[in-house]
Amino acid sequence: MEQTIAAVATAPGESGIGIIRISGPEAPEILKRVFEYKSGKKAEKFEERRMIYGNIADEKGEIIDEAMVVYMKAPHTYTGEDVAEIQCHGSIVSLRKILSLVLSCGAQPAERGEFTKRAFLNGKIDLAQAEAVNDVIKAVSDEGSRSAVSQLGGSLSAVIISIRTQMADLLSEIIAHIEYPEEDLEELTYAQITEELAKISERIKRLADSADTGRIVRDGLKLCIAGRPNVGKSSLMNALLKTDRAIVTDIPGTTRDTIEEFASVAGIPVRLTDTAGIRETEDTIEKIGIQRSRDSIRSADIVIFVADGSQRLSEEDTEIISQLSGKNVIFVFNKSDLGIRVTRGEIEDLLREKNIDADCTFAEISALTGEGIDRIAEQIRDTVFRGKAAADNEILITNVRHADLLHQALRFLSDADSMLRSGEALDFAETDIRSAWSLLGEIIGETVNQDILTEVFSRFCLGK
């Protein structure tokens, strides 16, 4: 018999309500032992899915806390088992005492993610949906939450199942030709197989290619604001954060070190770095700050290069631009309220002249008045989503495990294609296609071992 488990299902700290969750065959009996009506009478049975008000009392009859309790009968529960929940005040003392009482009545402490693991094992959700539960909990932005909720609803699972079905159909035809070569089967040519493999590979590649965007949506975007001193970098940072985080003065070199803040920009989690102005200096401390600025540029997903648009480009501007090769760059011409003298064409000519390969967009702003700031937020979003609107409902691969399995599957399909094109026996191609099919099954838990399950659910919090 499966053990009955229990844990606090709400985050630690003071709150209006705290919840203890119990799951397993003994859940209703344990609830009977710890709950009593306000009259002091014990409950003989619980009407399913009906909240009841009363007290939680220990074996001596001492009341621990007031509570609302509910019993939910299997299999129509989160875990697929009998479940009971105790909703009391969110005091850590009350929660600890009630959990201790529940455990003394026969429940075992739940491990990390064990409630969701049981939901997976009982067929309530697949493994991709189970991992999405954790992503919903940990989401730090609108886009991260949207993607996690979509995957929790089965969007990714549906695509993976569809691709595996397509692969299974192809495998069935290949196996039939291998095992029954003399039967009157429709001829299956190598060209037909490679054509079908190309279609399957393209579907997998579209998913795999979304992993970079998915990583940003889940973990955050590294955004670096760079430029020479006194061009408005700190003012822009404050405008994006909508708070006075960085000190702003007319004195060049005011920011002498990198300043980092986390924020949500256009629904995307962003680690925003305001760097020290890059210039030649003999100041030892400022030199350290400038080196950190260069390091921030190298590690950034997007660099916002800020120039004083009211002046011509300086040698310092040019030197910084020369460090931007291979980066996604938003060129920002600040101080539009004073008139813009720098042009997009001038920047593009400079990039060509110095052979700098960068993906560029441009914006004219006034950090002083706020004009154009919203446009930068839109450009950040467009760069992350590669110009695709969120309304496209594109599935994003936000899980490193999923991305790795997709790339492995693509390698097996590529090997199968190479074998077919070189005229190798169908048996070899069939083995590689089957391996790819199995790898995709690991995403949704169809072909997964206990070690993987242990590793996946160990990332969860207690009580979920």
45-59, 153-167, 382-396, range with the lowest pLDDT: 382-396
145 close to 138: Cβ distance less than 8 angstroms: no
Residues 157 and 271 in one domain: no
Identify the pLDDT of residue 1: 55
- Is 118 within a domain? no
- Long-range pairs for 65-72 at CB < 8 Å and ≥24 separation? 65/89, 65/91, 65/94, 65/97, 65/98, 67/35, 67/98, 69/31, 69/35, 70/46, 71/27, 71/28, 71/31, 71/46, 71/47, 72/48
Residues 370 and 262 in one domain: yes
Give yes or no for residue 84 having a pLDDT over 90: yes
376-380, 388-392, 449-453, range with the lowest pLDDT: 388-392
Angle between helices 211-219 and 190-209 (to 10 degrees): 20
Residues 263 and 364 in one domain: yes
When the pLDDT of each residue in the chain is averaged and rounded to a whole number, the result is 85
Identify the pLDDT of residue 393: 56
212-226, 364-378, 381-395, range with the lowest pLDDT: 381-395
What is the value of pTM for the model shown?
Answer: 0.79
Task: Residue 384: give its domain's CATH number.
Answer: 3.40.50.300
- Is 325 within a domain? yes
- E-only strand ranges, 339-383: 359-364
SS (H, E, C) 273-327: EECCCCCCCCCHHHHHHHHHHHHHHHHCCEEEEEEECCCCCCHHHHHHHCCCCCC
Identify the pLDDT of residue 276: 61
- Is 385 within a domain? yes
Q: How many structural domains is the chain composed of?
A: 3
Would you list the DSSP string of 391-402? GG-------HHH
- Is 216 within a domain? no
Identify the pLDDT of residue 255: 42
Residues 231 and 283 in one domain: yes
Say which amino acid occupies 335: K
Residues 266 and 245 in one domain: yes
In degrees rounded to 5, what are phi and psi of residue 198?
-65, -40
**Domain span at 172:** 132-210+398-457
Residues 34 and 144 in one domain: no
pLDDT band of 186, cuts 50, 70, 90? low
Angle between helices 155-179 and 190-209 (to 10 degrees): 160
Q: Establish how many alpha carbons lie within 13 A of residue 95's alpha carbon, considering only the half-sphere containing its beta carbon.
A: 23
In degrees rounded to 5, what are phi and psi of residue 362?
-135, 150
| 346-373 confidence digits (pLDDT tens) | 898 889 988 988 889 999 998 888 888 8
How many other C-beta atoms are found inside a 10 Å radius of the C-beta of residue 188? 15
| 128-172 confidence digits (pLDDT tens) | 999 999 899 888 778 888 889 999 999 999 999 999 999 999 998
Residues 172 and 225 in one domain: no
- Is 125 within a domain? no
Element containing residue 69 per DSSP (H, E): strand 63-72
Give yes or no for residue 445 having a pLDDT over 60: yes
| 247-300 confidence digits (pLDDT tens) | 333 434 444 445 778 888 877 888 888 776 554 554 555 455 566 777 888 888
Task: Residue 180: give its domain's CATH number.
Answer: 1.20.120.430
- Is 115 within a domain? no
- Is 9 within a domain? yes
- Is 152 within a domain? yes
Residues 247 and 375 in one domain: yes
305 close to 324: Cβ distance less than 8 angstroms: yes
Residues 372 and 228 in one domain: yes
| 304-327 confidence digits (pLDDT tens) | 999 898 889 888 888 888 888 889
Identify the pLDDT of residue 283: 52
51-65, 112-126, 230-244, range with the lowest pLDDT: 230-244
- Distance between CA atoms of residues 210 and 149, nearest Å: 17
In degrees rounded to 5, what are phi and psi of residue 42?
-80, 150
Residues 229 and 81 in one domain: no
Task: Residue 71: give its domain's CATH number.
Answer: 3.30.1360.120
Residues 387 and 403 in one domain: no
Residues 227 and 202 in one domain: no
